Amino acid sequence: MVQNAIYDEKELLLRSAGGDEKAFAEIYHFYYRKVFSLAFKYTKSNVLAEDALQEVFSKLWMQNEKLAAITHFKAYLYTITRNHLFNVLRKISREQLLVNELMNVPLNQPSVVDEITRKQLLEKLHNAVKKLSPRQRQVFELGKLQGVKHEEIAKQMNLSRESVKKYMMDAVKAVKTHLHPRDGLAIFLLLASLK
């Protein structure tokens, strides 16, 4: 039975390398719980573990032509998952250090973001916000730019609080994709300071 599983995996890897999406889906379904569990072990977050799962398998598919050459797929998958998680955790750690550094600036000091940089960041933010769907844009502008609470947005837009939360999460995610990571963090810190 073990021999058959090894043969099947090799066959699936070979077919996946040739672009067979069904074969790749079988590999995904066989390993997704293991990758998710490993990601959750490192991050202690369902959201980060889910993101890691998607990222790892996306990377595998983008380089699917290399799959046929992998002899120990389980070890290979573990290694790329672990490396991805280390990169994510390193990035989170750097961002947290920056946030801590910015939050420890005494109030009598000049702003960390000078007026020119502030205007440039807000312009980048507005350009990213223009790309949102109308509902996402309205929820984002009310919540992030005007500081309106989710409950009030729900009343104003005749939506449930859960819908507002979903629109906001999707909007923030979309805005971040249109910004350089450094700008994204600076903009969200700037937004936090405006409230």
Residue intervals of the chain classified under CATH 1.10.1740.10 are: 2-102
Tell me the C-alpha to C-alpha distance, in Å, between residue 177 and each of 48, 90, 129, 134, 180: 16, 19, 11, 17, 8
pLDDT reading at 121 higher than 90: no
Percentage of the chain exceeding pLDDT 70: 76
Q: Which residues contact 136 (CB under 8 A, 6 or more apart)?
A: 167, 170, 171, 174
Sign, CA dihedral 164-170-173-177, equals negative
- pLDDT band, very low/low/confident/very high, at 107 (cuts 50, 70, 90): very low
Residue intervals of the chain classified under CATH 1.10.10.10 are: 111-194
* Predicted structure pTM score: 0.48
Q: Which residues contact 190 (CB under 8 A, 6 or more apart)?
A: 113, 118, 121, 122
Average confidence score pLDDT of the chain: 79
The CATH number assigned to the domain with range 111-194 reads: 1.10.10.10
Token pair belonging to 28: 């995904």
pLDDT reading at 109 higher than 50: no
- pLDDT band, very low/low/confident/very high, at 48 (cuts 50, 70, 90): confident
- Cβ–Cβ < 8 Å for 82, 55: no
The CATH number assigned to the domain with range 2-102 reads: 1.10.1740.10
Helical pair 46-62 and 21-43, crossing angle rounded to 10 deg:
140
Helical pair 181-194 and 73-103, crossing angle rounded to 10 deg:
40
